[in-house]
Amino acid sequence: MKILVTIKRVEDYESKIKVRPDNTWIVTEGVNYRANPFDEIAVEEALRLRDTNAPSEVVAVSIGSGAATAEIRSALAMGADRGIHVKHDGFVDSDAVARLLVKVIEKEKPDLVLMGKQAVDVDDNVTGQLLAEYLGYGQATFASKKESLESPEEKGKKPGLKLAADKKSIQVVREVDGGVETLELQLPGIVTVDLRLNIPRYASLPNIMKAKKKPIEELNPAGLGVDVAPKVKVVKVEAPPARAAGVKVPDVATLIQKLHNDAKVV
């Protein structure tokens, strides 16, 4: 089967994020970049599905500036077979990303598309769902599994998504409010992954070397015939309101007294 995974280049969650003084965006100088953590989980799942269903192929796609090839390379170093880079400088909203992906998918015709549930820069949590609707596909968002990340299944690197014997559908366990839901998704379909689907592998040094030779095809929005003017524009970016500093209390007796008499919450 052919599996397409999407990778977004995002600010490293360990970097300090500060708002620009002109309130147009965040300060990007001095910030580290990396692949969106959810997308690494998507790549890991794609590799496990590929390796238990040979012959299969994993194609990693990123939309972004020239620098995003680094994140495609990181997916290739994890084990993806080839990359596609839709090159565009500047802001692309999630809707435009979804419409670009439609074009890539029409060309590639994958059986399954694996994406992160949320990009941890814009925190939108919409792209996979938009894409599924544009394509008329089914979707299973927030994919997880019943087994924990400490389970023998995870240690054995088993796929959390269960492909049917006829490869026409896949069973997905989803994290929803109040519990977990299982859906059977007809292929081709879209799955967005949550945190507890797997623990992504690290790229080994030999695989990092090998990844340098794997092909990355370069495309652009104009060539794909997609207008990337945003439907949702970011007009201002501000620092969050600061919380007033609190106090340390010496013991439980003082704490309960403060909660009861001052804050009146107990």
Partner 1 sequence: MATILLVAEQAHGHLKKATLSALTAAQQLAQKNGGQIQGLAVGAGAQTAAQELAAYGIPVHAVEAGFEHALAETHGAAIAEAVKKLAATDVIIAATAYGKDIAPRVAARLGAGIASDVMAVVSANQFKRAMWAGNAIATVEVTTKVKVVTVRATEFAAAQKGGSAGAVQALAVSAPAAKTKFVEYAEVKSARPELTEAGVVVSGGRGTKGDFKPIEALADALGAAVGASRAVCDAGWQPNDLQVGQTGKVVAPKLYIAAGISGAIQHLAGMKGSKTIVAVNKDPEAPIFQVADYGLVADLFKALPELTEEVKKLK
Enumerate binding residues for ligand AMP (CB under 6 A). Answer: 6-8, 36, 38-39, 62-64, 92, 94, 97, 115-116, 118-119, 122, 124-128
Residues 175/142, Cβ–Cβ less than 8 Å: yes
Q: Facing residues of 189 across strands?
A: 112, 138
Q: Which amino acid is at 204?
A: S
Output 76 or 130, the one with its CB closest to partner 1. 130
In whole angstroms, the minimum distance from the beta carbon of 178 to partner 1 comes to 6
Q: Please pick, from the candidates 75, 76, 86, 98, the single residue that binds partner 1 as defined by CB under 8 A.
A: 98
Residue 53's binding partner, choosing from partner 1, ligand FAD, ligand AMP, none, with beta-carbon cut-off 5 to 8 A by kind? Answer: none
d(CA 141, CA 169): 15
Q: Phi/psi of residue 6, each to 5°? A: -105, 140
19 binds ligand FAD (CB under 6 A): no
Residue 74's binding partner, choosing from partner 1, ligand FAD, ligand AMP, none, with beta-carbon cut-off 5 to 8 A by kind? Answer: none
Q: Footprint of partner 1 on residues 218-237 (CB under 8 A)?
A: 230-237
- Tokens 């692309």, residue? 92
In whole angstroms, the minimum distance from the beta carbon of 252 to partner 1 comes to 4
Q: Footprint of ligand FAD on residues 108-167 (CB under 6 A)?
A: 120
Tokens of 193: 């992954």
Q: What is the largest CA-CA distance in the chain?
A: 68
Residue 189: which H helix or E strand, with range? Answer: strand 189-193
37 binds ligand FAD (CB under 6 A): yes
Closest CA to 94 of 111, 115, 67, 75: 115
Residue 56's binding partner, choosing from ligand FAD, partner 1, ligand AMP, none, with beta-carbon cut-off 5 to 8 A by kind? Answer: none
Q: Which amino acid is at 61?
A: V
13 binds ligand FAD (CB under 6 A): yes
